Amino acid sequence: MKEPLYIKTCNTLRSQIKSGILQYGQSLPSERELAETYQIDRKTLRKAISILIDEGLLIRLQGKGTYIAQQQLKYDVQVMDDLEQLLNRNHVNPTSRILYKELRPAGLRFSKLLGIQREDKVLRLVRMRLGDNEPVALQDTYIVYDIIPNLDSIDFEMYSLYSLLENNNIKIFKIEETFTFIQLSNPEARLLNMEEGAMGFIAEDITYDTSGRAIEYTKGIINNQKLSINVDLKYTP
Amino acid sequence: MSKYSNLVNSALVERIEEYIENNHLVSGNSLPPEREFCTILNVSRMTLRDAIRKLCEAGTLMNIQGKGTFLAPSRIIRDVMNIHTPAEEYYKLLSIQKVHAEGSINRALNLSTHNEVYQIKRIRMTPSERTSIETSYIPVSKLKTLDLAALETVSMSHIYGSDTNQKLSQANIKISVSKASFEESEWLGITEGDYVTVEKHTVYRDELPIEYCISVSSAHRVKYSATIYAE
């Protein structure tokens, strides 16, 4: 089967971005120019561009036009680290803003996920995670309250959960993580600096310590233009 | 409540989840009609709609135009740490041909130009639905014989594994999102332009790439999973 024209156009533009002919910071040539260069109609061109926006390679700025996006960072699934460490590894300055904090009973859903009683307390944190001051993720975290003394008095804009666990001699045994892709709606899209209806992905994880108990559950809504899912597997002979 | 109340308010969502649990509702069951459900939960229509929208986005519920709100079927789970096909999925061979590799396929397989590769198209499915359309590229030189029967049942890694008796050394998977082309939409039973996930697998043997595979699935049907252990 022959490739449709818009896919061909997509592939051409994608390889120009990947090879650096079109670079971060540049604006995409005008529709008229591109339509002429590739000898295609504007409708086909727009289809190709909208796919590249979904992939996070292009970014549309309201009232300004379409630009080449900054290269996405790899969200390395096989590496056990948190968002802060991931950003640090990539020389991006991580910051965190707490939008909401609440000490609450686990309730049905979180008691199941965390393997505790419904009336057991959890600390809920809603955090905006930024990299070089740009929104990367919106995280909704539920931490089992009694794992660390006075959990609710800790400043989570200053300290990461990982560093607190380490300090309290709690060793992580495993993290179970899932990923789904969704279309973002408001207010989430707006907070992530994305258009309503743009694609993002949801990373949900549960962290367990070496005694087998669950420590926390996090649902992160991730800006697809900032991070892309990558898995590197090595097989031992 | 803070200015983020719309973002963080999950009380009604959790009550609906409890309603589902207490009434033992499963995939395919419907929620009560809107008016009735508002009375049960003692909330306004607007408030209920907002909570239902959130649950639809989370994949718990789905709206069917003119019919109501239903419990959504659970997603197909793909374990990215183990790329071998789980037992409940199998394959149907669509086409196999020798082509000259170009562009991204060449780059992924580390080939110079004019190399011949097998292009193998397959549908990946469960007994109830087609889950993915997969296109694999394998350099002809790396695969002496092709076991057609095996293509119907197992993932590619099994095939060259048994062909050469050599073990795989590494694999890389990149997952992104795109829109279904007409051909993909036909195979997956979705609408052209619907969102799809695109998995790009590169499989290595002795540090050299031996297969590049592009797997396309409906974005609201798949969920990727991974368990990572501390060293």
- Residues B2-43: pLDDT tens digits? 567 778 888 899 999 999 999 999 999 999 999 999 999 999
CB-based contact A174 B75, cutoff 8 Å: no
Q: What is the mean pLDDT of residues B60-74?
A: 90
Over the stretch B91-106, which tens digit does the pLDDT of each residue have?
888 988 888 887 788 8
Task: Name which of A51, A174, A185 is nearest B179 (Cβ-Cβ).
Answer: A51
- CATH topology of A5-68 equal to that of A73-230? no
In this prediction, residue B4 carries a pLDDT of 78
Residue B197 pLDDT exceeds 60? yes
Please report the DSSP string for B61-86 in residue order: EEEETTTEEEEPPPPEEEETT--SPP
Q: What is the mean pLDDT of residues A144-166?
A: 89
Residue B83 pLDDT exceeds 50? yes
> Among residues A230, A229, A236, which one has the least CA distance to residue B170?
A236
End-to-end CA distance of chain A: 40
* Domains of chain B and any CATH numbers: 5-71 (1.10.10.10), 76-225 (3.40.1410.10)
In order of A30, A52, B155, the CA distances from A36 in angstroms are: 10, 19, 43
Q: What is the mean pLDDT of residues A76-86?
A: 89
Looking at every residue in chain A, the average pLDDT score rounds to: 90
In this prediction, residue B184 carries a pLDDT of 93
Residue B165 pLDDT exceeds 50? no
CB-based contact A54 B178, cutoff 8 Å: yes
Token code pair at residue B196? 């799809």
**Percent helix, strand and coil across chain A, each to the nearest 5:** 30, 35, 35
Residue A184 pLDDT exceeds 70? yes
CA dist A82 and A90 (Å) reads 13
In this prediction, residue B86 carries a pLDDT of 66
Which residues of B fall within a CB distance of 8 Å from A234? 169-170
Using CB atoms within 10 Å of the CB of residue B42, give its burial: 0 to 12 exposed, 13 to 18 middle, 19+ buried: exposed
Long-range residue pairs from B138-145, CB within 8 A, at least 24 positions apart, any chain: B138/B210, B138/B211, B139/B101, B139/B109, B139/B111, B139/B115, B139/B210, B140/B98, B140/B115, B140/B116, B141/B115, B141/B116, B142/B210, B143/B118
In this prediction, residue A57 carries a pLDDT of 87
Token code pair at residue B150? 């095996």
CB-based contact A78 B173, cutoff 8 Å: no
Q: What is the mean pLDDT of residues B208-216?
A: 90
> Among residues A231, A223, A149, A141, which one has the least CA distance to residue B171?
A231
CATH number of A5-68: 1.10.10.10
Q: Is A99 on the interface with B (CB under 8 A)?
A: yes
Residue B130 pLDDT exceeds 90? yes
**Furthest-apart CA pair in chain B: how many Å?**
69
Task: Name which of A54, A102, A232 is nearest B179 (Cβ-Cβ).
Answer: A54
In the DSSP assignment, the letter for residue A63 is T
Which residues of A fall within a CB distance of 8 Å from B83? 233
Which of A128, A179, A201, A209 should one mutate to test binding to chain B, selecting the residue with the greatest count of B CBs within 10 A? A179
CA distance A24 to chain B (A): 19
Residue B144 pLDDT exceeds 70? no
Return the ∠ at Cα B60 (arms to B54 and B62), rounded to 5°: 80
CB-based contact B169 A183, cutoff 8 Å: no
Looking at every residue in chain B, the average pLDDT score rounds to: 85
Answer for the pair B195, A199: CB distance below 8 angstroms, yes or no. yes
In this prediction, residue B205 carries a pLDDT of 81
* Residue A85: strand, helix, or coil: helix
Fold of A73-230: Chorismate lyase (3.40.1410)
CA dist B133 and B218 (Å) reads 10
The ipTM value here is 0.86
Q: What is the mean pLDDT of residues A9-21?
A: 85
Q: What is the mean pLDDT of residues B53-59?
A: 87
Percent over 90 (pLDDT), chain A: 48
In this prediction, residue B87 carries a pLDDT of 65
Residue A3 pLDDT exceeds 90? no
Q: Is A79 on the interface with B (CB under 8 A)?
A: yes
In this prediction, residue B188 carries a pLDDT of 94
Q: What is the mean pLDDT of residues A103-118?
A: 94
Q: What does the domain layout of chain A look like in residue ranges?
A: 5-68, 73-230
pLDDT band at B164 (very low <50, low <70, confident <90, very high): very low
Q: What is the mean pLDDT of residues A12-39?
A: 86
In this prediction, residue A63 carries a pLDDT of 79
Residue A149 pLDDT exceeds 70? yes
CB-based contact B173 A180, cutoff 8 Å: no
In this prediction, residue B29 carries a pLDDT of 94
Residue A96 pLDDT exceeds 70? yes
* Residue A155: strand, helix, or coil: coil
pLDDT band at B163 (very low <50, low <70, confident <90, very high): very low
Task: Name which of B21, B59, B230 is nearest A171 (Cβ-Cβ).
Answer: B230
Answer for the pair A8, A2: CB distance below 8 angstroms, yes or no. no
Which of B63, B74, B102, B179 should one mutate to test binding to chain A, selecting the residue with the greatest count of A CBs within 10 A? B179
Token code pair at residue A89? 């590894």
In this prediction, residue A1 carries a pLDDT of 53
Q: Which residue in chain B is spatially nearest to A8 when comparing CA positions?
A: B103
